[in-house]
Chain A
Amino acid sequence: MIAAWYGITSFMLIGYVALDGRNFGAGMLHWLVARTRAERRQVVAAIGPLWSWHEVWLVAFGGTLFVAFPRLLSSAFAGYYLALFLILWCLVLRGMSLEVGRHIPDPLWSSFWDFVFVLSNCLLAILFGAAAGNVARGVPLDAHGQFSMAFFTDFRVTGQVGLLDWYTVSVAVFAVVLLAAHGATYLILKTEGPVHGRSRALAKLLWGAAAPLFLAITIESWLVRPDVPGRAIGNPFCWFGILVVVASILALVSGLATGRERRAFAASTFLLIGILATGAAAIFPEMLHSTLAPENSLTAYDVASSPTALWLASIWWPVALALTTGYFAFVSWHFAGKVGLERDDQGVY
C-alpha cells in the first residue's frame, strides 16, 4: 500500500513536470525563437490558456504528498524553506507575466512582461533542476528527521551540504538544457512560420547538447550515490523506466529527423517521464536521503500516513483520477492544433 502511494505521489509530480516542463522550456526560448510582436504573441498563445491547468498539478502533488506522507512534507518543506519560496514567487511572476502582459497592447508594456516571463521560466528550470539534484543527493537530515539547509556551504556532496553544490548545479544545468529542448520540440508542434523554423533548428542543437550532459549526469549520480545502483538493479520499475528512456530517445531521433512533430513531442515528453520515473524507482524506498548518517534517512515506510488514511484515500483517489482523465481529454481536444501568426480567433491572445 505504501509502495503504491509512493508510485501515485511520484506520478503526480512527474505529471506536473511533463505538463509544465514544456512551458518552462518554451518560456526560456521565448526571445530566441520569437523576434517580432506577433511571433512573441504566438509563443505566449501556445502556452497561455493552459498554464493554470498545468500549475494545479503541482498543487495536486502537494495534496497527494500531504495525504500519503505528511511527515515527509513537514520535514522537506520546512527544510527547503527559502528554495521553496523562490519557486513559489517565480510561479507567481510567471503567471502574472502571462496574464498581465497580454492585457495592454503596448510595445513597452509587453516587452517588460516578456522579460519577466523569460526570467521566471529560466529561474524555475534552474530551481526545479537543483531540487531534483537535492532529492537524488540527499539533505542533512538529523536524528529527528529534520533539516535546515543553507543555499550553499562548501559545494561538496557529503556532510552539511547546501542547496547548491557541484552536483546539484550540474543537474540544474542539465534540467535547463533538457527543458529547453523539450520546449523547442513543443513549439515545433504548436507553431507555424518563422517560430516553427527557429524552434526546429534550436531543438536539434539543444538535444545535441542534452545527450552528453545526460551521460555526464548519469555518471555523476552514480558517484554521488554509489549505494543506489545496487538497490535499483533488482527493481523491475527501474528497468521499465530505462526501457521508456531508450524507446523515447529512438522515437525522438526519428521524429526530429523525419519531421514527425507529434511523435517528436510525445517522445520528448516520455523521455522526461522515463528519466524521472527511473530516478523515483531507483531511490525507493528512501524519500529523503541523509548526507549526515544513512540511518537518519527517511523512507516511505517511516513517513507514511496511517493505514486507515491510505486505505480511505485509495477509495476516492481513483475516482478523482478518472474524472481528471476526462478533463484532460477535453482540454487536449479544446486547445489542439497550431497557433497562427495572426491574433487568434478568440481575440484574446
Chain B
Amino acid sequence: METVSDPAFWSRLQFGFTVTYHYLFPQLTMGLAWFLVYWKWRALRTSDPQYARAVRFWAKIFGLNFAVGVVTGIPMEFQFGTNWAGFSRHAGGVIGQTLAMEGMFAFFLESAFVGALIWGEKRLGPRAHFLAAVAVAVGSWLSAYFILVTNAFMQHPAGYRVEADGSLGIAALSDYLLNPWAWVQFAHNQMAAVVTGAFVVAAIGAFYALRSTHLVQARLYLRAGTLVGLIASLLVAFPTGDQQAKMVARHQPVTLAAMEGRFASGPMAGIAVIGQPNLAEKRLDNPIEIPGALSFLAYGTFASEVHGLDEYPEDVWPDNIELLYYAFHLMITLGTIFIVLMAVACFQSWRGRLESTPWLLWLLLLALPFPYIANTLGWMTAELGRQPWLIYGLFRTRDGYSQVVSNGNVVFTLIGFTGLYFVLGVLFLVLVGREIGLGPEEETA
C-alpha cells in the first residue's frame, strides 16, 4: 500500500471501507437475534407480558439494522467481481462454493422470515412467531459461517488443488468447509457479535434507567445485557481469542511478530502494554512490556522462542505494520475493559443495586460504541495481518485487483459510496434514535 498510484490501493480502500461499514449492522443483528429468541421463548413459557413487549421494541431496532445490513451487503458480493476480478478468476473455483451457499442456504432463510418476525406477530401466533425468530437467528449465523469459511480460505487455504491453468479449484469440500481456522474464527467472531448485542441492550437499559422511564423494561435489558455481556466478553478472550492467537502463531508467525511489533526473535517474548513501532529503526519506541507473556500465550511456556520480523524477508511482512500493531493492541485493551465493566455491572445486578448506581449506568451507556470499535479492530487485525497475501502464501494482493478497471473509476465509485453511506448513516441514527426515544410500549394496566 505504498502510494495512491498503486492500482490495488483504491480497490483495497473501497473494499475495506464498504465492508467495515457493512459489518457495523450484522454484528448487532447476529447478537440481538438470540436476545429476541430468548425473550420470545420466555414470553411463550410465562404469562409475563414484559417479554413480548421487549421483543416488539427490539424487533424494530433489529429491522432497521437488518435493512441497512442488506442494502450495504449486496455491493460486497459484487465487488469480488468488479474490483477483484484477478482474485475471482484465480480462486472462484473454491470460494464460489461458499458464496453461493451463503445466498442459497442463509440469505433465503433469513430474509423469508425476517418480515414475519417484525410484522407477523398477530398473524402467526406466538409459537410460529418464536420459530420465525429462531429461523432469522440461525440464518444470520449460517451466513456468518459461510463468509468466515471464505475468509479462512484466504487466511489458511485448505481443501484446494491447483488446476491445469494455474487457478485454484476445490478438491475436498469437507476440508474446505471444516477448515480449523474457520471454526476458531467463527467462534471468536460470533462471541464478539454477541458482545455488541449485549452492550447495546445494556446501554439502552441504562439509558431508560437513568431517565427513570420504562423502568420494568430497563431492568430486563440491564439484567440480560450485563449477564450475556460478561459471559460473551470472557468467551471472546478465552478460549476463542486465545485459540485465534495460537492459530496465527502457528500458521502466520510473521503476522504475529508484526502484530506485536517484534523485530528480533528470542525467548521470553513480552507483550507491549505501551510502545510505538518504529520501522525505520526496527524497534518498539518507549516500550513497557509484560515479560514472557507473548511466549506463554502463543506457545504455552515463558521460555518459548517467538519469531521476530528479522527472520523473514521484508516482502512477506504485512505492509502496514503500524496500523496492524495498534489495531491488535487496542482490541485487546478494549476486550479487557469490557470484561471488567461487565463483571462490576453483574456484581451490582446480582446485589440488586445496578439501577441505583448512576455512575455504572453512565459507563454502560457510554460504552455503547466501543464493541463496534473492538469488532472493527479485530477485523483490521485479521485482514491487515494477512497482507501482503490475498490468499495466504499462494496469491498476492497486488495480483488480485481488476486490471481493466482504471483508478479513475474506482475513485469515482469510492466517492459515491462515501456520500451514499454518509446519508445512510445519518438516516439510520435519526431513525434508531427516534425508536429509542419513543421506547417500548408502556404497560396498559
Contact = CB atoms under 8 A, between A and B. Distances in A.
B170 A63 contact: no
A305 B115 contact: no
A50 B108 CA distance: 12
B115 to A, nearest CB: 4
Contacts of B64: 99, 103
A105 to B, nearest CB: 11
B115 A49 contact: yes
B82 interface: yes
A122 B107 CA distance: 26
Interface in A304-319: 305-306, 308-309, 312-313, 316-317
Given A66-B80, A334-B124, A348 B118 contact: yes
Contact of B97 (A85, A100, A104, A312): A312
B78 A70 contact: no
A131 B424 CA distance: 27
A224 B94 CA distance: 37
B405 A88 contact: no
Interface in B79-126: 80-83, 85-86, 88-89, 92-97, 99-105, 107-116, 118-124
B358 interface: no
A335 B112 CA distance: 11
A81 B97 contact: no
B93 A306 contact: yes
Contacts of B95: 66
Given A53-B111, A78-B81, A348-B118, A92 B424 contact: yes
Interface string B406-440: 10010011001000100010010001001000000
B403 A335 contact: no
B67 interface: yes
Q: What's the interface size class on B, roughly?
A: 35 or more
A305 B416 contact: no
B182 to A, nearest CB: 17
A253 interface: no
A52 B117 CA distance: 13
Given A52-B67, A52-B114, A66 B122 contact: no
A82 B406 CA distance: 11
Nearest to A56: B107
A215 to B, nearest CB: 34
A306 B169 contact: yes
Given A59-B74, A82-B413, A66 B115 contact: no
Contact of B85 (A50, A74, A92): A74
A92 B405 contact: no
A71 B402 contact: no
Interface in A47-81: 49-50, 52-53, 55-56, 58-64, 66-68, 70-71, 73-81
Contact of A70 (B93, B101, B107): B93
B112 A330 contact: yes
A309 B171 CA distance: 8
A242 to B, nearest CB: 30
A66 B88 contact: yes
B75 A74 contact: no
Given A75-B85, A85-B82, A335-B115, A91 B74 contact: yes
Contact of A78 (B74, B100, B405, B420): B405
A258 interface: no
Contacts of B96: 63, 66-68, 70, 305, 309
A7 B296 CA distance: 55
Contacts of B102: 63
A114 B302 CA distance: 65
A228 interface: no
Contacts of B169: 305-306, 308-309
A316 B171 CA distance: 16
Mostly helix, strand, loop or mixed at chain B's interface?
Answer: helix
A312 B159 CA distance: 13
A29 to B, nearest CB: 23
Nearest to B115: A49
B206 to A, nearest CB: 25
A146 interface: yes
B71 interface: yes
Interface in B51-78: 63-64, 66-68, 70-75, 77-78
A331 B112 contact: yes
Nearest to B105: A320
Contact of A63 (B101, B111, B403): B101
A73 B88 contact: yes
Nearest to A328: B112
Given A67-B97, A67-B99, A308-B171, A327 B112 contact: yes
Given A52-B70, A74-B88, A146 B81 contact: no
A323 interface: yes
A74 B86 CA distance: 7
Contacts of A50: 115
Interface in A284-311: 305-306, 308-309
Given A52-B111, A59-B77, A92 B72 contact: yes
A103 B427 CA distance: 11
A88 B402 contact: no
Interface in B122-143: 122-124
Nearest to A91: B74
Contact of A62 (B66, B77, B94): B77
B405 A309 contact: no
B359 to A, nearest CB: 34
B445 interface: no
Contacts of A96: 67, 71, 424, 427
A31 interface: no
Interface of A: 49-50, 52-53, 55-56, 58-64, 66-68, 70-71, 73-82, 84-85, 88-89, 91-93, 95-96, 99-100, 103-104, 146-148, 305-306, 308-309, 312-313, 316-317, 320-321, 323-324, 327-328, 330-331, 334-335, 345-346, 348-349
Closest 3 CB pairs of A and B: A70-B92, A77-B81, A60-B103
Given A52-B115, A55-B70, A81-B402, 5 more contacts: A63-B99, A78-B82, A85-B413, A92-B74, A148-B405
